[in-house]
């Protein structure tokens, strides 16, 4: 997906990096930029609604490369490596609707409350993001208005429609994590992420741990909270939906084969969980 990221720093982007752009434009995304929201299988019959906050690593043309080399723009700091392929395969196998965000989380993180510092990171792990320094309030508002808001409005609209139609809806947020973070190796192959929901996470943990070749994290390598997450708290918990997050280690899904295998495994597991939820009248 290297073609997703522009290479040259535009005049506007240079101004962003230096923090002294003379005249601020009213729009971040131009007519030639890709729309932020991506959807697959919108008519899917499954109760599962998949979201993918860090699906893509596009950068708006006005921002150039955010002052970063290409080697940083393909790293985990820019997106969830491998999860796009898993999500696409999984949506097809489960006949489920997938809603995804195409732009890099370095532009704005669509799984962070927009008022926290990590929403538009100036530092990601140990990497300084020059294009995110000294942003004006208007520049910050642009990123939320044109990337963050359309994505979350779309998820909200889909849930509204499903509930209006009295369709069972189970929210599953799909992510991937780096095998090593801050020089610490992570042993888990996959983890479940949750906060308030007590219905789906225990079922998913039990099913994953029944697979004899997996090291499974229980709220590892991350745990969901209102301060660090947005999609599950806002669209899952606040709407009263059965929900969970799934994190897959990136080295396991770095290529097409790994993505397909993990999608097939998760489709099998989730299909079994769906049958159990229906039998127990929980959806």
Extract the tokens encoding 281: 């009248």
Between 25 and 178, name the one with better pLDDT.
Answer: 178
pLDDT tens across 127-146, in order? Answer: 999 999 999 999 999 999 99
**Residues with Cβ < 8 Å from 3, sequence gap 6 or more?**
none
- 4 pLDDT higher than 60: no
Are the beta carbons of 99 and 158 closer than 8 angstroms?
yes
Q: What is the pLDDT of residue 8?
A: 32
Delineate the domains of the chain, giving CATH numbers in brackets: 35-279 (3.40.630.40)
Q: What is the pLDDT of residue 23?
A: 42
Cα(248)–Cα(171) distance, rounded to whole angstroms?
17
Residue 51's CB is within 10 A of a number of other CB atoms, namely: 29
Q: Where residue 120 falls among pLDDT bands split at 50, 70, 90?
A: very high
- 25 pLDDT higher than 70: no
- Distance from CA of residue 10 to its chain's centroid? 27
Q: What is the pLDDT of residue 182?
A: 84
Between 10 and 252, name the one with better pLDDT.
Answer: 252
Q: What is the pLDDT of residue 24?
A: 47
Range 250-263 average pLDDT? 98
- 17 pLDDT higher than 70: no
pLDDT tens across 39-97, in order? Answer: 999 999 999 999 999 999 999 999 999 999 999 999 999 999 999 999 999 999 999 99
What's the mean pLDDT when you consider all of the chain? 92
Q: What is the pLDDT of residue 76?
A: 96
Range 240-267 average pLDDT? 98
Q: Where residue 115 falls among pLDDT bands split at 50, 70, 90?
A: very high
pTM: 0.90
User: For residue 66, is it left (φ>0), alpha (ψ between -120 and 50) or beta?
Assistant: left
Cα(145)–Cα(41) distance, rounded to whole angstroms?
26
């Amino acid at each position: 997906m290297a073609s997703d990221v522009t290479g040259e720093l535009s005049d506007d982007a240079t101004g962003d990096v230096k923090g002294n752009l003379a005249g601020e434009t009213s729009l971040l995304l131009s007519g030639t930029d890709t729309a932020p929201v991506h959807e697959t299988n919108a008519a899917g019959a499954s109760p599962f609604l998949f979201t993918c906050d860090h699906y893509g690593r596009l950068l708006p043309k006005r921002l150039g490369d955010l002052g970063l080399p290409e080697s940083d723009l393909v790293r985990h700091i820019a997106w969830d490596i491998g999860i796009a392929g898993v999500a696409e395969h999984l949506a097809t196998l489960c006949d489920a609707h997938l809603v995804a965000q195409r732009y890099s989380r370095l532009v704005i993180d669509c799984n962070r409350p927009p008022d926290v510092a990590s929403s538009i990171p100036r530092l990601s792990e140990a990497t300084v993001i020059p294009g995110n320094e000294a942003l004006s309030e208007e520049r910050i508002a642009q990123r939320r208005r044109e990337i963050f808001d359309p994505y979350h409005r779309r998820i909200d609209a889909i849930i509204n429609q499903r509930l209006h139609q009295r369709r069972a809806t189970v929210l599953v947020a799909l992510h991937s994590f780096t095998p090593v973070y801050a020089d610490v190796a992570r042993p888990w192959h996959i983890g479940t992420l949750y906060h308030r929901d007590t219905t789906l996470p225990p079922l998913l943990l039990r099913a994953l741990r029944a697979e004899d070749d997996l090291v499974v994290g229980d709220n590892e390598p991350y745990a969901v909270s209102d301060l660090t997450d947005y999609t599950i708290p806002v669209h899952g918990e606040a709407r009263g939906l059965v929900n969970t997050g799934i994190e897959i280690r990136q080295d396991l899904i770095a290529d097409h084969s790994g993505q397909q295998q993990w999608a097939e495994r998760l489709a099998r597991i989730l299909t079994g969980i769906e049958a159990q939820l229906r039998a127990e009248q929980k959806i």
